[in-house]
Amino acid sequence: MKYSTFGRHVMIDAWGVSFDLLNDCELLEQYLLNAAEKCGATVITSQIHRFEPQGISAFVLLAESHISIHTYPEKGFAGIDCYTCGEEVDPTKAVRFLIERLKPSQTFSKMLYRGLGRIEMKKSMVF
């Protein structure tokens, strides 16, 4: 089987998200797993950590790479990261799903194209 090194790496800063949502471990883990399914990725495992007094880091390892979220509920902020290798799994579908669930008031995004022998960047995307 021939594998491509091509990948897309989407990064989102989401602001204005509900404190309670950003501090809900079980719900955020489920959102990440659902996002992986929406983009056609294969989940290997997931890991989540709750910080005290608040905040969460969650990571889903994919056969195609990963999806993660780091939350700062007290600031209404979530950093979302989705990197997938190959042409078939589309990280923008995963990120769109997460943005629809988090309902931020503001987002800032970038997408890196990786594995081309150079890094190309798309500065902003609409979510």
The one catalytic residue in 65, 66, 82, 109 is: 65
The one catalytic residue in 66, 82, 85, 109 is: 85
Concerning whether 85 is annotated as a catalytic residue, the answer is yes
Concerning whether 49 is annotated as a catalytic residue, the answer is no
Per-residue three-class SS string for the chain: CCCCCCEEEEEEEEECCCHHHHCCHHHHHHHHHHHHHHCCCCEEEEEEEECCCCCEEEEEEECCEEEEEEEEHHHCEEEEEEEEECCCCCHHHHHHHHHHHHCCCEEEEEEEEECCCCCEEECCCCC
Concerning whether 65 is annotated as a catalytic residue, the answer is yes
The one catalytic residue in 46, 57, 68, 70 is: 70
**Residues designated as active site:** 65, 70, 85
